[in-house]
Amino acid sequence: MTMNKSAIQFSDVSLSYGTSDNRVEVLKGISFSINADEIVSIVGPSGSGKTSIIMLAAGLEKTSSGAIKINNEDITNLNENALSAVRRQHVGIVFQSFYLIPNLTALENVLLSLEANQKYNKDEEAISLLTEFGLAHRIHHLPSELSGGEQQRVAIARALINKPAIILADEPTGNLDETTSKNMMQLLFDYTRAQQTSLVLVTHDNDLAQQCDRIIELKDGNIV
Amino acid sequence: MFNYQQWLFIHRYAIRDIRRSYKKLWVIAITLFISLLLLSLTFSIKQSLNDEIKSNSVELLGGDVQINSGITPLSDERLLQLSKLAKVSQTVNFFTMLSKPGEGAVFTDLRSVDEHYPLYGVVQTEPAGAREKLLVETGAPAVLINENIQNQLQLKVGDELKIMSTIFVVGGVIVSVPDLTNSAAFGEFAIISKNEYDKFDLRTAGSFLHHDTRLKIPKSNDYDSIVDAVQSLLADDNNIRMKLPSDSAQSLRRIIDNFSNFLNLVSVSAMIIAGIGISNTLLSFINQRNTSIAIKKSLGFSSQTIQLIYFYEILVVLLSASIVAYAVGVLSPLVANLVIPASFGISLQPSFSLLDYANVAFIGLLVVLIFSIPSLYSIPSIEAAALFRNTFQSVNLHFSAKNILYLLILAAILVAYFVLQTRQQTLTLSYFFAFFVSMFVFYGVAKFLIFVLRQLPAFPNNTYKIAYRNIASKKSLAPIITISLGIGLTLLLTLSFVADNLKREIVQSIPSMAPDLFFISVNKDEKEPLEVFIRTLDSDAIMEFNPMVSATFVALNAKPIESLVSRDNRSHWAIQGDRRISWSVEPPEDNLIIKGEWWKPGNSEQMLVSMDSRVAEDLGINVDDEITLSILGREVVGIIKNLRQVDYRGMGTNFAIIINTAFAQQLPFEYVGTLKSEHPSGEIQSQVLRQFPNISAIKIDRILSKVGQIMNKIFIAVTSISLIVIVIGMIVIVSAVMVQTSLRKYNNLIYKILGVDFATILKAMTLEFAIIYLTLISFSISAAAFASYYVVENIFTLQWQLDWGLTLMLTASTGIVTFALILLANKNMFNPAVYPLIRNE
Ligand SMILES: Nc1ncnc2c1ncn2[C@@H]1O[C@H](COP(=O)(O)OP(=O)(O)OP(=O)(O)O)[C@@H](O)[C@H]1O
Ligand SMILES: [Mg+2]
């Protein structure tokens, strides 16, 4: 496996919702490829299909036509269980609303990502990552006891701990204030670079988009 | 499929989840606990009741087997063989004169007993321990007498009495003997030792002797095989009659049968109710956690793993609930002993058995498996995609073809496993069947309601619109709510109706089964003077006299009846030994003719017979059949003219067989009668006996107190079980409420944010509930009335009555409690601050 192999590859992917008379065409045959150590941002007006791309890449949505490869594996026709396997091995997701499991502590939330991959008893690894994220004193707290920024740092740790090939982040800082956002993104950039993980970042923030290696701009379901 | 590490993870995760959110599992735990408790209670009540009846009836019979060899004793050879099988005790009964010089003599039922007598129970005497004096060989032999003899001959302990030509000394007064049934002996009754009897040397005297041999089978031995062995030992002698304990508890048979039927119904219902409760609470549990489930999926956990985690949690809950439930069930007799007044004479023993526990736990496991499948299979339909769009829709029970197949297989195993353990198998099977049918009915009701609402014009009213949307929307939970509430309410009503009818019968039976005195051998000419005389003693006494002769059932359509009816036939008692038969011109009051017709007066040549319909059914007797009765030694063939529903609840003597008066008048007959009086029965008895020396007056309150004890026990059991049923009924309703809570909370908050005022939301909720509940009530009441009618009339063979007061009370209180629960579950709607609630969602 060489480093320049593509992590994500969309070939002529279309996505539409609804039945014939009431059809919404969200993506109209888009193609792009993201390399294994690339950081790419997706921008575009609301409703242009950014989230849809992330969902397709995560295997949480099925294409209407076209093919998607994750780590060179065609996932277009995989079943539910196989998609789960691809997701837990190669993909980390960061949501706008953090989505930590409310009755698990920060540490347990991070461990869960390892446990999905049958890696057990890796507490030390998780603790050291959380410590690097400045959460040493919050390891055993429940999400409800953490601030938004802290929650998002836990969520990023959860996505990274598994050393996935791809991180998908849909407006990860949308719920945070400016300084917190900046710190957060710095963290994310540093770690993805260090681990040579590809990052797909959906954002409305132009500054942020500019810091990425490449920008994919969407409009009306097409890449412009 | 899963390796050890993964199982370990599932185990750890589940345990941690339970520890942290046990509050959300408590409804499941309590549902399981109560229904398993009810299950183990019904098992243990059945067991302890059977034991109680068995020990009582063994005492009443005086042994595990009673062998009556008539005027001759069993041969020494036979006795030797019997003594190898069991402990043997011999008694001889005969009537003779007891005389006290100067005071006169009384005609007495004299019983001679060997040293083993009584095999069961004790002979109570005044002074205590006088029974031992019978064994003393030195000096004048002892005799024990009863109160009547004591009164009539003015005797005291130590006085001399002459029997035959031997002088006896009164050793004590008999207070009670355990085996009362066939000694019609509370007229004048005395006991001497068998040794003294042997000295009379009556063998050649041709007296009318009753030789009884009773057996006590050692506890460790196999009862049935010994009984069989005894039977084959005696089979070659037609003069020998064998009696078993089950034959002596006849008066209780019906109620005991009914009661165990009732228990079956209850335990089937308990499981089903628990099942619905589990499936509902689990569904709401899953809905409350759909975010967590979606997150796990986004991390790459498969639906299967998540299902296993939750299933594992339920299993842990099941395990603990079943242990606690079984422990409480085992210990409940001790609590019952504390609660039940001592005067009932009931003392229950807790009995623990690992097998019983396994049984309860296994049934619980099957129920959990069956009812958690449709809930757990809703997990695959929770999508991680929702995390991107922030939309969480509540999921519904999931029925795929594969699911339904699993469900059918598991349900078949459960039904088979359960039914095979019960005695009334077809009946139990039909309970299950009725339940499945009513599930479909209520599903239909829900769909019908939605259909009707959609047809109605849209009222331009906010309250109505909200209520309408909640019921008739595409993702509505109305069908689940309707099924759960409907089944819960129907079972609640059915069981209450059945229990109500059963209780009524028991209450009526307790006093009516306890007349104080029983008169037999009342001469034709003595009947009226006796009635007049009793009136002078107590003008309010309730008396009933019936003419009767003794008859033995010999043959049916010329075939020997013994060859047609097996010993475990429910109505075997009717063909056993001497039965009293009576006659009348009109059918007895309350006895409904259900087949054939009553006869016209006359026809003295031909014996016409009216028969208890239940006995007839059991023995396979029909109208126009010929039965042969042996009446006073003469065999008479009669024709069955009609079958009658006998109401055994009356205080009178009830007769399974009644014949036509014209024929009966040619027979030499006597009267039997019952008396109930406020006055002390002993006094009436001795006055009557002094006035009418030929009549036997038996004080039966002692016999009946045993019957009464069992009745009381059943009554208490029925009452307490109905209370528990109400509790589990409520649990289903709670679970039904919980299913819709999370969805409703969210909707209500949105309405509130949109500015719909509180009063409108409240009104809409009330309207929605009223629409569903009122639709249900009519269906539930009809279904419950129908089901309870069927059970009460056809299975219990009682007269069914619908208690409207009870119905109204149950439906109203269920409605109120349910609605109160709905409001309680949505209590944060009353909170004025809306926004923080949304953030916490
Ligand atoms: N289930 C669905 N059915 C029909 N249309 C849908 C569905 N889900 C999304 N859409 C449509 O797809 C389009 C793209 O949605 P998407 O969430 O990808 O946009 P987006 O670029 O992420 O927008 P935003 O910046 O507002 O998050 C939208 O117009 C939306 O209305
Ligand atoms: Mg979006």
pLDDT digit string, tens, across residues B191-201? 999 888 888 87
Average pLDDT, integer, range B650-679: 78
Residue A1 lies in a domain: no
End-to-end Cα separation, chain A, in angstroms:
31
> For residue B743, what pLDDT is reported?
67
**Assigned token pair, B613:** 């319909």
Is pLDDT larger for residue B560 or for residue B702?
B560
> Average model confidence (pLDDT) for chain A?
91
More confident residue, B184 or B330: B330
What's chain B's average pLDDT?
A: 80
Closest CA to B327 of B360, B365, B368, B278: B360
Q: Is the pLDDT of residue B126 over 90?
A: no
pLDDT band for position B46 (cuts 50, 70, 90): confident
Distance from CA of B286 to the nearest CA of A (A): 14
pLDDT of B706 over the 70 cut: no
Residue B841 confidence (pLDDT) above 50 = no
CA dist A112 → A96, A197, B76, B376, B586 (Å): 19, 20, 84, 21, 85
**What average pLDDT score do residues A129-156 get?**
93
Q: Higher confidence at residue B828 or residue B110?
A: B110
pLDDT at A92: 94
Range of the domain at A74: 6-223
Q: How far is it, in rounded angstroms, from Cα B573 to Cα B553? A: 11
Atom of ligand 1 nearest to the CA of A50: 21
A interface mutation test: which of B7, B295, B303 has the most A CBs within 10 A? Answer: B295
The per-residue pLDDT for B118 is 87
**Among the listed residues B437, B372, B361, the one whose alpha carbon sits nearest the alpha carbon of residue B410:** B372
**Closest residue of chain B to A52, computed from CA coordinates:** B388
Q: Identify residues whose C-beta is under 5 A from ligand 2, the ion.
A: A 51
Does residue B327 lie within any of the structural domains? yes
Residues of chain B with Cβ-Cβ distance to A155 below 8 Å are none
- B57 and B96 in a single domain? The answer is no
Q: Do the Cβ atoms of A170 and B388 come within 8 Å? A: yes
Q: What is the pLDDT of residue B155?
A: 86
On whether the pTM is more than 0.90, the answer is: no
pLDDT of residue B281: 83
Q: What is the pLDDT of residues B564-605, one digit of tens each?
A: 887 667 677 677 666 778 888 787 776 778 888 888 887 778
Q: Are B29 and B321 in contact, with CB atoms under 8 Å apart?
A: yes
Q: Is residue B104 part of a domain?
A: yes
**Burial, B286: exposed, middle or buried (Cβ in 10 Å; 0-12, 13-18, 19+)?**
buried
Determine the pLDDT at residue A211. Answer: 92
- Shared domain for B45 and B79, answered yes or no, is no
Q: Does residue B298 fall inside a structural domain?
A: yes
d(CA A43, CA A53): 11
Give the number of C-alpha atoms closer than 13 A to the C-alpha of residue A1, restricted to the C-beta side.
10
The C-alpha atoms of residue B371 and residue B407 are separated, in whole angstroms, by 8
Determine the distance in angstroms separating the CA of A186 from the nearest CA of chain B, rounded to an integer. Answer: 23
- Among the candidates B373, B400, B423, a domain finishes at B423
In terms of domains, do B70 and B46 share one?
Answer: no
Q: Which residues are within 8 A (CB) of B736 and not within 5 positions of it... i.e. 6 or more apart?
A: B280, B480, B481, B484, B485, B488, B818
ipTM: 0.94
Residue B683 has pLDDT above 90, yes or no: no
Pairing of strands B65-70, B142-146: unpaired
B423 against A193, higher pLDDT: A193
Average pLDDT, stretch B794-802? 78
Cβ-based neighbour number of residue B20 at 10 Å? 14
- Percent of chain B clearing pLDDT 90 (strictly above): 13
The span from the CA of B517 to the CA of B699, in Å, is 5
Q: Is residue B169 part of a domain?
A: yes
Cα dihedral sign, B181-B182-B186-B190? negative
Indicate whether B836 pLDDT > 90.
no
Domain region containing B599: 542-676
For B459-507, the DSSP string reads: -S-HHHHHHHHHHHSTT--HHHHHHHHHHHHHHHHHHHHHHHHHHHHHH
To test the ligand 1 pocket, which listed residue (A28, A41, A48, A170) has its Cβ within 8 A of the most ligand atoms? Answer: A48
Q: Which two tokens stand for residue B728?
A: 């589990």
Question: Distance from A99 to chain B by nearest Cα, in Å?
Answer: 7
The answer to whether position B789 is within a domain reads no
Q: Tell whether B8 is within 8 A of chain A (Cβ).
A: yes
The residue among B106, B168, B89, B107 whose CA lies nearest residue B133 is B168
Provide the pLDDT confidence category of residue A213 given band limits of 50, 70 and 90.
very high
pLDDT at B186 over 60: no
CA–CA separation, B437 and B445 (whole Å): 12
pLDDT tens-digit map of B290-308: 899 999 999 999 999 999 9
Residues B282 and B418 occupy one common structural domain: yes
Q: What is the 3-state secondary structure (H, E, C) of B362-401?
A: HHHHHHHHHHHHHHHCCHHHCCCCHHHHCCCCCCCCCCCH
How would residue B840 be classed by pLDDT, with cut points 50, 70 and 90?
Answer: very low
Report cis status (omega within 30 of 0) of the bond before B588. Answer: no
**Could you tell me which of B819, B779, B782, B775 has the C-alpha nearest to residue B451?**
B775
Residue of A nearest to B2 (CA): A118
Distance CA B763, CA A205 (A): 47
Closest residue to atom 8 of ligand 1, CA basis: A17
Cβ of A101 and B385 within 8 Å?
Answer: no
Alpha-carbon distance of B616 to B575, in angstroms, equals 11
More confident position, B269 or A203:
A203
B225 and B348 fall within a common domain: no
Confidence of residue B839 (pLDDT cuts 50, 70, 90): very low
Q: Is residue B329 part of a domain?
A: yes
Is residue A188, in this structure, part of any structural domain at all?
yes
Phi and psi at B104, nearest 5°, equal: 105, -165
Distances (CA, A) of B787 to B257, B483, B490, B645, B711: 18, 17, 9, 21, 25
**Which of B382, B402, B423 is a domain's end point?**
B423
Q: What is the mean pLDDT of residues A176-201?
A: 90
A51 lines ligand 1 (CB under 6 A): yes
- Count of structural domains within chain A: 1
Q: What is the full DSSP assignment across B717-760?
A: HHHHHHHHHHHHHHHHHHHHHHHHHHHHHHHHHHHHHTT--HHH
CA B705, B711, B714, B715 torsion-angle sign: negative
pLDDT of residue B766 exceeding 70, the answer is yes
In the chain, the amino acid numbered B425 is: Q
CB under 8 Å to B642, separation ≥6 — which residues?
B593, B595, B596, B597, B598, B599, B610, B611, B623
Query: Other CB atoms closer than 10 Å to residue A147's CB: what's the count?
Result: 11
Q: Report the sign of the C-alpha dihedral through residues A87, A92, A94, A99, in that order.
A: positive
**A71 lies in a domain?**
yes
Q: What CATH number is attached to the domain comprising A102?
A: 3.40.50.300
pLDDT-derived band at B183 (thresholds 50, 70, 90) equals very low
In angstroms, the CA B307 to CA B315 distance is 12
User: How far apart are alpha carbons B676 and B699 in whole angstroms?
Assistant: 11
How far apart, in whole angstroms, are the C-alpha atoms of residue B510 and residue B508? 6
pLDDT in tens, B157-170: 889 998 888 899 99
Chain A contact present for B298, CB below 8 A: yes
Measuring from atom 18 of ligand 1, which residue has the nearest CA? A49
Is residue B801 in some structural domain? no
pLDDT confidence bin for A212, thresholds 50/70/90:
very high
The string of pLDDT tens digits covering residues B722-741 is 777 777 777 777 777 777 77
Number of Cβ atoms within 10 Å of the Cβ of A186: 11
3-state secondary structure (DSSP) of residue B667: coil
Average pLDDT over residues A159-188: 91
pLDDT of residue B182: 38
Residue B292 sits in the same domain as residue B394? yes
Higher pLDDT: A93 or B657? It is: A93
Q: What is the C-alpha to C-alpha distance for residues A69 and A80, in angstroms, rounded to an integer?
A: 16
Buried residues in B630-647 as b, exposed as e (16+ CB within 10 A): ebeeeebebebbbbbebb
Pair (B555, B642) in one structural domain? yes
Q: Is residue A117 part of a domain?
A: yes
Residue B826 lies in a domain: no
Of B292, B302, B388, the CB nearest to A84: B302
Name the band, by pLDDT with cuts 50, 70 and 90, for residue A8. very high
Cβ separation B300–A117 shorter than 8 A? yes
Between B718 and B511, residue with greater pLDDT: B718
Q: Which of B267, B357, B279, B372 lies closest to B321, judged by CA? A: B357
Residues 6 or more apart in contact with residue B745 via CB below 8 angstroms: B826, B828, B829, B841
> pLDDT category, A65, cuts 50, 70, 90?
very high
State how far the Cα of A195 lies from the Cα of A189, in Å rounded to an integer.
10
Q: Specify which of B524-538, B679-693, B791-805 reaches the highest per-range mean pLDDT.
A: B524-538
> Do B639 and B594 fall into the same domain?
yes
User: Residue B184: its pLDDT value, please?
Assistant: 37
Domain count for chain B? 3
Q: Do residues B655 and B531 make contact, with C-beta atoms less than 8 angstroms apart?
A: no
> In this complex, do A116 and B296 lie within 8 Å of one another by their Cβ atoms?
yes
Do the Cβ atoms of B388 and A55 come within 8 Å?
yes
Alpha-carbon gap, residue B445 to B449, rounded angstroms: 6
Query: How far does A200 lie from chain B, in Å, by closest CA?
Result: 15
**Would you say the C-alpha torsion B774, B780, B785, B786 has a positive or negative sign?**
positive
Distance of CA B662 to the CA centre of its chain: 41
| Ligand 1 neighbour A41 (Cβ under 6 A) | no
Last residue of a domain, one of B423, B445, B477: B423
Tokens, residue B745? 């909370």
When pLDDT is cut at 50, 70 and 90, the band that residue A59 belongs to is: very high
**pLDDT of the residue at B263:** 78
CA–CA separation, A130 vs A145, rounded Å? 16
Q: How far is CA A163 from CA A55, A99, A113, in A?
A: 20, 20, 10
**Is B284 found in the same domain as B164?**
no
Query: Rounded CA gap, B471 and B769, in Å?
Result: 9
Q: What is the pLDDT of residue A2?
A: 44
Q: Does B808 touch chain A (CB under 8 A)?
A: no
Distance from C-alpha of B588 to C-alpha of B654, rounded to nearest angstrom: 10
pLDDT in the model for residue B698: 66
Spell out the residues 6+ positions from residue B366 whose beta carbon is closer than 8 angstroms to its own.
Answer: B410, B413, B414, B417
The answer for residues whose C-beta is within 8 angstroms of residue B71's C-beta and 6 or more apart is: B206, B207, B208, B209, B210, B211
Q: Is residue A148 part of a domain?
A: yes
In a domain, A103, yes or no: yes
Q: Rounded to the nearest whole angstrom, what is the distance from the C-alpha of residue B785 to the centroid of ligand 1?
A: 55
The pLDDT, as a whole number, for residue A150 is 93
Could you say which of A51, A100, A116 has the minimum Cβ distance to residue B301?
A116
